Structure formats: C-alpha cells, structure tokens
Amino acid sequence: MRILLLGASGLIGGAVLARLAAQGHEIIGIARRRGAALERVRWEGLDLARATEAERWLGLLDGVDAVVNCAGVLAGDDARAVHADAVAALAEACERAGVRRFVHVSAIGADRESVSRFSETKKAGDDALAARELDWVILRPAVVVGRPAYGGSALMRGLAALPVLPVLPDAGPLQIVQLDDLVDTIVYFVEPTSPARLALDVAGPERLALDDVIEAYRRWLRFGPARRVRVPRWLAAFMYRLGDIVGLLGWRTPIRSTARRELMRGAVGDPTRWTETTGIVPQSLAQALAAEPASVQERWFARMYFVKPVVFAVFAAFWIGTGLISLGPGWDVGIEYMQRGGVGAVAAPGIIAGALADIVIGIGIAIRRTARIALWAALAISVFYLVAGTIILPELWADPIGPMMKIWPILALNLVALAIVDDR
C-alpha cells in the first residue's frame, strides 16, 4: 500500500512510519522538516498550518491507498490550522481523489468538555473528518509513552530524576497507554478490510495518579525512593506561565498553561470497545517498564532533562550580560586593556563590536530557531577571544582572576549545549 503519513517525524508518527515501512508499505512522510532517508519512505516538507486548502493536498494523494494523521501541536496560534483546518482540507481532498481510508489520531477527552484550545481544536478536526463520506477511524489516545521520550513522556522521566518526588496540584488521573499498543492499533486500521466510521478511546488498563506514574519511572530508572513534596499552586502556576514564555521563543516545552488545563481534566477513557474491536489488550505501565530495563542512556537523559533549560538560560544570559557590561560599567576597564595591548585608535570600536556580537549571540541562543547557529558563533568567538587575548595581552594568562583560563569551561559548556540542542 501507499500511505500518506502526517506528523511522520513525531513520537507517534515516527514509530508508525518505522512499522509500516518494515511491513513493506510505501510511505509519503509529511513533516515540517524531512527526516532521515529510509527505504520505502519519500519525505515531503510541509507546514500543516499552511495546508488548509484541499488543492494543496491533491498532488500528494496520487496513488495513495490510505491516510494516517499523527500530527499535533500542544499550543500556539497554529493549533486550529493544524488540528482542524488542515484535517478538513485533507479530508475534502481525499473525497475528491477517491482515497477512502483515513486513520486520524486525536486526543482522549476531545469529544467531551473542551478545557483548552488543544482539545477544542482537536474536536473540530474530529467533527470535520466525521462529516465526510470516507472510511474514517478516529483514535483518541490517553497519555502515550514508550521507549522513545518526547513531550509529556520525557517530562515524566525528568521529574523522576529529581532529588524529591514532586506532587503537582490538581492533577487528574491518567490511563497511560503504550506507544506500541497505539502503533498496533493504527496499523490494524490502515488495512482496507478493517472496521471504519468509528471513534475509539485508546487508554491503558489502569487509572494512576501523576505522582504514581513518576514514582514508577523512578523505580525503573533505579534512582531509589524519594520523599514526596507537594508543589504549591503558586509555584506550579509560575512554572506553567514560564513555559508559555519559553514557548514564544520556539522551544517545545510540555510545561504550559494548556498542559495544566489538560492535566487538571485528566486523561481517562473506556478501552473496552477498542479492545473488543481490535483484539489488542493494552499493557499496564508496570508491565511495559519491566519488559525493557532502563539503560545508562535513559538515566542520563532523565538527569539532563531539567539541566538542559538551565544550560541554555545561563549561557544566553552570560553572553547578553557580558555584552551589556562591556558597553556599561566595564567600558573603562576594556579601554584600558586595549590601550595596554597597543591597539590605540581601534580600542573603542573593537569593544563596541565585540559587545554587540556577544549580545546578538546571547539572543540567538535564547531563540530555538537560531540556537544552533548562535552556539557555533559563540564557539568561534570564544576561540577568537582566546587567540586575540594571548597576542594582545599575554600577561592575562598569569592574572590570578584567570580571565583567559575561564574561557576553557565556557568552550566546554558550549560543546555540551551543541550536543543537546535537538529536541528529538
């Protein structure tokens, strides 16, 4: 079969792509950025927020037997376009192109009360698809976890690595569903002979409190027992609001106001109809974790989860701060250094240029889209400062404050940031 797969580079979409390709299907993978080259996979770079007209999809549906939509965004202005408008346009295009089978991954609870823009727009996409004369299947998974970690599943591992076990206020119950079980379900419904025109909750077999889920991951990661600490509501609210601000810079953090509202509602449903229809018996969280012991890489990732934002925040603040200091209270000291080095007339322009470069680099590191380029620029300018300082004022190597020696840990932190800048 030839299958059009939306969100092919995400947590769910990536797993579906690997499974379908391994089964011999031809995949047209849709993502903002193309993934790795794989046999039987043709990538098409497409921003779903700009694919809200049926004509945009018709050329991609030539010879397609089925469509699978695994795309989604937690928050942002693109939510309605991605979850509803693009789905409606694609469903219309499928009708016009004669593509019948459409498997759509929504979210549990979207058919009930809409507590956020996320669930509201998910429901709008579900309704738009259900109104079409297609062999549609709407799957509404609860919180999806698996060996790969991204979004909420990564957050749970990060929380599990903290020295205390946080208990977040007002968190509703969760029915954790395993990624493999969801992928099995999608693969089942891709087949043209499978049932159609139905919507199913895809939920785990047990209701768990969020702190119980975190504790299960802590045991799996072999971090030992930890004291439970209840997080005050004001602190939780501050962290979610901070996540909103970080999101404006392009960083994909699951700690946002939208996540808070969804978490308060919980993620629960009735898996009975899903199991009866597909024959898939969902794994419990304990069963899934016991089947695959945590590796040292998993432990590293969990410990680095909250270290990463600290690294980028400190590094961005460092570069911006050094630039501002050079233009402000450090101006006279900088001029003195330059004159001692014999550069004379270019002292002031050199300090201004270096300070502005530092500020631009710091801002670039703070913004997700430019972070990698800015980190390479930071690495280059650090080496330049090291070489130029050695040539102009070699005695700085003997300075007890160590201005030249301190460049080395800056270079090391720069390399760490480059190594962990990718979200997935």
Q: For residue range 163-180, list pLDDT tens digits in order.
A: 999 999 989 999 999 999
Core vs surface per residue 319-338: b (16+ CB within 10 A) or e: bbebbeebbeebeeebeebb
| Coil vs helix vs strand at 113 | coil
Q: What is the pLDDT of residue 254?
A: 86
- Stretch 12-31: mean pLDDT, rounded? 94
| Coil vs helix vs strand at 210 | helix
Dist. CA 350–CA 348, nearest whole Å: 5
Q: Please check whether residues 67 and 195 belong to one and the same domain.
A: yes
Number of domain units in the chain: 2
- Of 268, 286, 305, at which residue does a domain stop? 305
Q: Please check whether residues 159 and 17 belong to one and the same domain.
A: yes
Q: Please check whether residues 151 and 40 belong to one and the same domain.
A: yes
In the chain, the percentage of residues whose pLDDT exceeds 90 is: 75
Q: Please check whether residues 195 and 335 belong to one and the same domain.
A: no
- Of 289, 305, 321, at which residue does a domain stop? 305
pLDDT higher than threshold 80 for residue 113: no
Q: Please check whether residues 50 and 183 belong to one and the same domain.
A: yes
Structure tokens at 186: 């999608």
pLDDT higher than threshold 80 for residue 112: yes
H or E stretch at 140: strand 135-141
Dist. CA 342–CA 331, nearest whole Å: 17
Cα-to-chain-centroid distance, residue 153: 10
- Side chain identity, residue 23: Q
Q: Which domain holds residue 408?
A: 309-420
- Side chain identity, residue 214: I
Q: What is the pLDDT of residue 212?
A: 94
Residue 39 in contact with residue 63, Cβ under 8 Å? no
Q: Please check whether residues 338 and 234 belong to one and the same domain.
A: no
How would residue 69 be classed by pLDDT, with cut points 50, 70 and 90?
very high
Dist. CA 88–CA 92, nearest whole Å: 6
What is the C-alpha end-to-end distance of the chain, expressed in Å?
A: 28
Q: Please check whether residues 135 and 118 belong to one and the same domain.
A: yes
pLDDT higher than threshold 80 for residue 342: no
Pick the more confident residue, 225 or 377: 377
Q: What is the pLDDT of residue 19?
A: 95
- Stretch 37-53: mean pLDDT, rounded? 88
Q: Please check whether residues 279 and 330 belong to one and the same domain.
A: no
Q: Please check whether residues 213 and 296 belong to one and the same domain.
A: yes
Structure tokens at 34: 């193309």
Q: Please check whether residues 348 and 281 belong to one and the same domain.
A: no
Q: Please check whether residues 257 and 175 belong to one and the same domain.
A: yes
